[in-house]
Amino acid sequence: MGNCLDRNPVGAKNSSAVYGLAEEPSSELPTNQRTEPPLGLYLHVPFCSHSCDFCAFYQEAPRRADLERYLHAIELELRLFPPGRRVQTVFWGGGTPGLLPAGDVARLGAAMLRHTEGAPTEWTVEMAPATVKEDKLRVMRDLGVTRISLGVQSFDDRVLSELGRRHSAAQVMRAIDRIRHCGFENLNIDLMFAIPGQDPGAWDRDLRHAIACAPEHLSTYCLTFEEDTRLWARLRRGEVRPCSESEEYVLYEHAIDLLEDAGYRQYEISNYSHPGFACQHNVHTWEMGEWVGYGPAAASQFQGIRFANPESLDRWYQGVEIGRLERVDRVVLDDANLAVDAVIFGLRMNAGINLNRLRKRWPRAPWGELESLWTAWINEGLACHPSPDRLALTRRGRLVADAVAREALEVLD
Ligand code: SF4
């Protein structure tokens, strides 16, 4: 449906007390009290050993020559476009960052740390269960990686095969053992629902299995049929039946209830955590903080501009090699588009948004039109004011968050 569970757009935190909305923009503070706003760093590793049946993300086969070329180009890109200030959160996504051999992880990590001005407070690396090996985990731990995000999707081998995933439930359990044995105390498990062949009973078993693994964080994504994927082709041939929207809602709401009973607080439409374990990097981006992206297809939001690197290893490398970084999808940000995005992404979080702070941060945004919108949402039971200056979606509102977002975007037309 996309309402409940689309994948994180940039590669994501209830740490509003620490980041973004809870803070005054530095430009509003007296000069002697200004501090640099938090900065995130996203690094894209575009290699996958095979293509999963549902996946439309940009990816490349991990040929050794390309890996070498990639590592060299990342080192160059970091020198050409250094963050220029302390980096607080790091996210390595992909692709499959965990597929890099231990020596490559060490080289990439060392290159990045030369530019972060100290150790990040949170550093996530995405790993696929089949790639979790002790040597690379030890390298990551020694570099300062704090969080592993494991792409489990399901604990049911039959469901995994429907998705074209190349791991088994047994490999997932071995991967979790290794991650814990290496001392990582912050583990995310990605799960997927509304998969063909996964009935409510199978989804319930996946959730209970995940809870029994005791991760600190869980992400649950609704399967979407993306064009040009093998699953899309099967759908077109009538070989699989997608869940209806009402079936998706049932599965989604079951996850909320079961995970909350198990002590996981939903803090965003697709994300749950134990207290203190929300993903700081993602929350920072949802609160319209600044981040810099490296690697092909990586997006950045920095110094008033949003842009991305080309989705091609060759194009990205050629630009880096001649010292002219190619930027695509470039948007100059103003109060209006930043405020609308802060409303859209902020309302996906259960804590919602602090209206006074947003108004102070972007005073020239179309607040009158936005206010009319949320008055209507409140009247329809989709939103509420948990406190006088805060706006949040209700549980019913979160089910239709995409429709809410579309209405907010129309304010920019
Ligand atoms: S491992 Fe991740 S990025 Fe790679 S094909 Fe599978 S889902 Fe896509």
pLDDT digits (tens, 9 = 90+) for 89-130: 999 999 999 999 999 999 999 999 999 999 999 999 999 999
Q: Ligand 1: which atom is nearest the Cα of residue 51?
A: 5
- Phi/psi at 217 (5° precision): -145, 145
> For 301-337, how does the pLDDT look when each residue is reduced to its tens digit (9 = 90+)?
999 999 999 999 999 999 999 999 999 999 999 999 9
Ligand 1 pocket mutation, candidates 57, 165, 195, criterion most atoms within 8 A of CB = 57
- Mean predicted confidence (pLDDT) in 388-406: 96
DSSP conformation class of 99: G
Asked whether the predicted pLDDT for residue 8 surpasses 80, the reply is: no
- Determine whether the shortest distance from the Cβ of 128 to ligand 1 is under 6 A: yes
Tokens representing residue 283 in the block: 């929350």
Question: What is the model's pLDDT at position 378?
Answer: 98
Q: Ligand 1: which atom is nearest the Cα of residue 50?
A: 5
Question: What is the model's pLDDT at position 229?
Answer: 93
Tokens representing residue 200 in the block: 């409510």
Measured CA to CA, the distance from residue 208 to residue 32 in angstroms comes to 52
Among the CATH numbers 3.80.30.20, 3.10.20.90, 3.40.50.300, 3.40.50.720, which is that of 15-284? 3.80.30.20
**b/e map 170-187, b = 16+ CB within 10 Å:** ebbeebbebbbebebebb
Tokens representing residue 18 in the block: 């620490």
Cα of 58 vs centre of ligand 1, distance in Å, is 9
Asked whether the predicted pLDDT for residue 10 surpasses 60, the reply is: no
> For 255-292, how does the pLDDT look when each residue is reduced to its tens digit (9 = 90+)?
999 999 999 999 999 999 999 999 999 999 999 999 99
pLDDT mean across residues, the chain: 91
Closest by CA to 151, choosing from 18, 8, 364, is 8
Question: What is the model's pLDDT at position 18?
Answer: 26
- Mean predicted confidence (pLDDT) in 337-349: 97
Measured CA to CA, the distance from residue 148 to residue 85 in angstroms comes to 25
Which band of pLDDT confidence, cut at 50, 70 and 90, is reported for residue 153? Answer: very high
Integer CA distances (angstroms), 171 to 132, 140, 145, 176, in order? 9, 20, 22, 9
Tokens representing residue 26 in the block: 């530095």
**Domain limits, CATH 3.80.30.20, in the chain:** 15-284
Q: Whose CA is nearest to atom 2 of ligand 1?
A: 95
Cβ atoms of 296 and 309 within 8 Å: the answer is yes
* Identity of residue 198: Q
Alpha helices in 36-166 (DSSP H): 64-80, 102-113, 134-143, 157-163
DSSP conformation class of 325: -
Asked whether the predicted pLDDT for residue 204 surpasses 70, the reply is: yes
Q: How many CA atoms lie within 13 A of 395 on its CB side?
A: 9
Cβ atoms of 347 and 385 within 8 Å: the answer is no
> Whose structure tokens read 């037309």?
413
Which band of pLDDT confidence, cut at 50, 70 and 90, is reported for residue 355? Answer: very high
User: Which comes out higher in pLDDT, residue 30 or 354?
Assistant: 354
Taking the CA atoms of the chain, what radius of gyration do you get in angstroms? 21
Tokens representing residue 268 in the block: 């965003």
Degrees, nearest 5: CA angle 350-355-356: 140
Cα of 382 vs centre of ligand 1, distance in Å, is 34
> For 211-230, how does the pLDDT look when each residue is reduced to its tens digit (9 = 90+)?
999 999 999 999 999 998 99
Cα of 47 vs centre of ligand 1, distance in Å, is 9
Measured CA to CA, the distance from residue 80 to residue 91 in angstroms comes to 20
Integer CA distances (angstroms), 192 to 84, 171, 209, 291, 349, in order? 37, 17, 13, 27, 19
